[in-house]
Amino acid sequence: MAELAETDAFDGLGLPLAIGEARLAALPPVRRLLVAHFAGGVPAGLPPPGRLATVSGGRVLWAGLGQWFFEGAAQAPASGAAVVDQTDGWAGLALSGEDATAVLARLVPLDLDPAVFPPGTVARTLLRHVMLLLIATGDGFELMVPRSYTRTAVRELSEAMHSVAARRRIGG
């Protein structure tokens, strides 16, 4: 019988990457629970759509209509919601550096200007054709993608990083 071996979502993908003025790195795995509240309203204290909240030992991120990710030690509700462990289903990347916004502007259909998308903002969108949960941080972005799309996400991001770096070199 074959034996299964645990692997990191980013094994063999050459991370971290530094291309031009952009940096891409894998985020460490974190416990992640998807919480979807049953009909009858959303409990108080959860971040509104498009936002996140830092809580003791973790954070809570809006993840879609009536859904939130509880990360780290953040405690999911004991009742009134469906709770599904998504720890192994999603992988995180950090994109930072002076060109982080320019890199993402080539890949996501959002206005990433800090006046529109300030730190703490969360958006459910696409990275080209890959489902993405995008989080603005103080020094760039966190990108959460389904684990099965990590290779595609890293390839798309590295190609955009090369493109932005090339434009910078020729003065564009």
Per-residue pLDDT tens digits for 47-106:
999 999 998 889 999 999 889 999 999 888 877 888 999 999 999 999 999 999 999 999
Task: Write out the residue range of the structural domain in which residue 64 sits.
Answer: 17-169
Q: What is the CATH number of the domain that holds 108?
A: 3.30.1360.120
Closest CA to 158 of 29, 20, 28, 27: 20
Residue 9 lies inside a defined structural domain of this protein:
no
Residue 31 lies inside a defined structural domain of this protein:
yes
Q: Give the tens place of pLDDT for each residue, 100-128.
A: 999 999 999 999 999 999 999 999 999 99
Residue 63 lies inside a defined structural domain of this protein:
yes
Q: What does the pLDDT average to over 136-141?
A: 95
Q: Say how many Å lie between the first and final Cα of the chain, rounded.
A: 56
Q: In total, how many domains does the chain have?
A: 1
Place of tokens 């809006």: 62
